[in-house]
C-alpha cells in the first residue's frame, strides 16, 4: 500500500476543485437541493482539509504497519491484569504506536511544507511585500519574493 507516496497533491487538489469547487459536481448538486453551499474550498480550512486528506494515508501506512507487527500478548496480559479497554489503549497501544506517529508526523509536516501546490492552486492572489519594502501584487509574487530572498542571501554570504 504505497500509493499515497506516488499521487501528487496537485492532482488531488484538481480533483477537489472538480468535486467541491464553486462550480464543482457536489457543490452544484448541494446548491440545487438546499439552495446554498456550506463549504468554501478556497479558504484556509478548505486548503487544510485538502492537504489532510492527501497526506493522511501516509500516517495510516506507517501506523498500520506497526499495528500488524505488534505483539497481541501485551494487550492480553494487560486485560488479564484487570485493565479496561481505555486503559489498554492508553497504556499499551499508544506507547507502542508513538514511534510511527512521531515519524509520520515529521514526514507529513515536511511534505506539507514542501508541497505548496494546493495553496498556490486554491489561494487568491493578494498583495505581498518583498524584503525591500516594495509591494508586489498579483500572481507572480511568490517567484519574485523567492528571487529577492536569493539575492539578499547572496549579498550577505
Q: Which residue carries 501528487 as its cell? A: 8
Give every CB contact of residue 41 below 8 A, 6+ residues apart in sequence: 16, 17, 20, 21, 22, 24, 47, 50, 122
pTM across the whole model: 0.62
Sign of CA dihedral 8, 12, 18, 20: negative
pLDDT higher than threshold 60 for residue 69: yes
pLDDT tens figures, 106-124: 988 888 877 776 777 776 5
Q: Which of 118, 136, 119 is nearest to 127 (CA)?
A: 136
pLDDT tens figures, 32-64: 999 999 988 888 888 888 888 888 888 898 889
pLDDT at 138: 56
Per-residue confidence band for 26, with pLDDT thresholds at 50, 70 and 90: very high
SS (H, E, C) the chain: CCHHHCCCHHHHHHHHHHHHCCCCHHHHHHHHHHCCCCCCCCCHHHHHHHHHHHHHHHHHHHHHHHHHHCCHHHHHHHHHCCCCHHHHHHHHHHHHHHHHHHHHHHHHHHHHHHCCHHHHHHCCCCCEECCCCCEECCCCHHHHHHHHHHHHHHHHC
Amino acid at each position: 500500500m504505497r500509493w499515497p507516496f506516488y499521487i501528487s497533491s496537485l492532482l488531488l487538489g484538481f480533483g477537489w476543485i472538480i468535486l467541491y469547487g464553486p462550480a464543482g459536481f457536489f457543490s452544484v448538486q448541494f446548491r440545487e437541493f438546499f439552495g446554498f453551499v456550506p463549504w468554501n474550498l478556497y479558504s484556509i480550512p478548505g486548503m487544510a482539509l485538502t492537504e489532510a486528506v492527501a497526506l493522511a494515508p501516509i500516517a495510516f501506512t506507517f501506523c498500520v504497519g506497526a499495528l500488524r507487527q505488534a505483539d497481541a500478548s501485551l494487550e492480553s496480559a494487560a486485560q488479564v491484569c484487570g485493565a479496561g479497554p481505555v486503559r489498554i489503549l492508553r497504556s499499551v497501544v499508544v506507547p507502542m504506536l508513538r514511534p510511527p506517529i512521531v515519524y509520520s508526523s515529521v514526514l507529513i509536516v515536511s511534505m506539507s511544507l514542501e508541497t505548496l501546490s494546493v495553496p498556490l492552486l486554491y489561494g487568491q492572489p493578494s498583495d505581498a511585500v518583498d524584503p525591500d519594502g516594495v509591494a508586489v501584487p498579483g500572481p507572480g509574487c511568490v517567484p519574485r519574493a523567492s528571487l529577492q530572498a536569493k539575492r539578499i542571501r547572496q549579498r550577505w554570504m
